Structure 1
Amino acid sequence: MIQKKAYKPQLQARQTLPTAQTAAATLAFPMLPSLGVGTLDSYISYVNRVPMLSAAEELHLAQEFRRTENVDAAKTLVLSHLRLVVSVARQYLGYGIPHADLIQEGNIGLMKAVKRYDPNQGARLVSYAIHWIKAEIHEYILKNWRLVKVATTKAQRKLFFNLRSNKPTLAALTPNEVEALAKALDVKGSDVKEMEMRFAGGDVALEGDDTDDESAYAPIQWLADNSQEPTEMMAAAATDALHGPQLDQALMALDERSRNIVQSRWLAMDADGNGTKTLHDLASEYGISAERVRQIETAALKKMRSLLQTEAA
């Protein structure tokens, strides 16, 4: 028993211990703050305290991850570049997206970059990762900035992220400014004008708010009223006719018991829109079974439907 207890911890250590350089780099990182009580400021403070990797350490970890898929090596590469994500995400605060959301999307891009990074190409990870970080942030902004997607083509995406920063003033662009921006961004002048219009417009709720202000209005109030459209009026008139004299004539064509059953089941409605009498109620009233009441009702409705169709023709 003594030998087994002494041997087991050694076996576990060999199974979980990473390589010497990976372990040293990982243990050098400060402890991640608790996600339950942490704030954005504490997170940024943490990533700024994570030590940077030297070129040799980064090369070794990247090669080890590509060779063995060592998760600890990938973790070290990601943690050492979190401050880069915070810096890049800060550049997109002007789009009204929370900084924490931008950082979260940028971290996804960073992890994708680490997974695809090839250290044998001679470039540092920071140069490779910045493309993936920006790509994820761009995609997130385009999906969440407006209810309606404002940029779908490559040219529109390029304009979306460059037009605002390249505008000389906050005023509307002049024809000369449109031409200059189109030339600088290598796009069409019509695309510049269209994107400027999209920036100027905002999302408007169709239903409006829930206030009781009588002066408030919403776009849904501008929609056309089809109640006066000729075909709608003809259909309404036909329905009224069926519900009026023609319906009375069809009812009068039934015998007294059948008429009373139909009226009690379909035409005498309570506050909830249900018939006031059930099949069992009528069965007790006439001294017959509920199934017999249902048969009489079915036959009466069939006869009325035939009479109404004849009148409509």
Structure 2
Amino acid sequence: MLDTRKYKEQLDKLLSFNDEFHYVTESYICEIFEIDRSILFDDVIKYLESKNIEIVCDLTDEVEPSDEELLSVNSNEVLDELDLNTNEYVNINDLIRIYLNDIGKIPLLSYEQELKCANEIKRGTVAEKELVTNKSLTSEEKKELRKVSFIGLEARQLLIESNLRLVVSIAKRYLNRGLAFMDLIQEGNIGLIKAVYKYDPSRGFRFSTYGTWWIRQAISRAIADKGRMVRLPVHMSEAVSKLMKERTVLTQMLQKEPTNEELAAYLDMPLERVEFLLQASQDVISLDISIDDEEETLLSDVIPDITAVNPSTYLENLEYKNKIDKMLKTLTPREERIIRLRYGLEDNIIHTLEDIAKEFGITRERVRQLEVKAIRRLRHPSRLKIIK
């Protein structure tokens, strides 16, 4: 939850910007809150959305692909980039190829066509509301409104379908983040649909510029919510993503895997923060997951138990313990007890002279004297040969 009192000044600036332009750009949010674009606070976005404030990519940003790039989306090229493995029952490659071929047949819209669709959608939405709220409409008026509403639905469908390739081009940038490629596309399509419902052509920019932000936002949130067994907060997920990208860049520069210290110096970030993010980047997998095609071998079957004691070491220690016990039995019961307590042979806890003195009801000095006497007796050759 965003602390509106703490960030009142920044939020007032965003609201003023929205009053003037009827939207807020992503870079302006980053500038106001002095945060990096890749670690944009999810709470800020949710607050702005609760105020019905539209958030768009900067009009000068080249984040969305051009029409030429979208037209060049090729199923074989995409599959080569994905390098997916086939499944015995369902060939994922074929599913993706069919989907890409289908959306590749849908032509892109020009700016004028986008404007026409947007206006028809707007009129259709108004007609739908009129049909629901106005109970005094005549049959002719209802018929005309239903016609306008149907045209709006068709325009909405056309605007969505003509931008499906935009979703694919953006989804490719989020591979290997925990979600399958088709899941990324589906999440991106949800963002696309939201963008179509909210698009206002009167702001003067193309739909791809506006829709890109919604698609990226939908995919990013899906990865944060569903990409890991243990969910990371959105801003933490983005921070980890940025760190991993910068580590890749530094690896190429150094021609070796950078140390945590080198990475912290390169990012001008505290070492503790780098180590924390690297730890957060580690995913969780089940020990019961199968690691072979027959699903007979589990991961837990091949991971050694580092806490388990080596059998030979255990036997050696047991034999040595028995020899020590035998040697201590040559002392008096009180001397044996003092040695066991002083050196942790009783409960693996080394007791102080004060503790032992209280147990026997004697002074600490007397305990020390008895300890020295017992050690001297243990060093006698007749006793040392027991443990040799």
TM-score by length of structure 2 reads 0.41
Larger radius of gyration: 1
TM-score by length of structure 1 reads 0.50
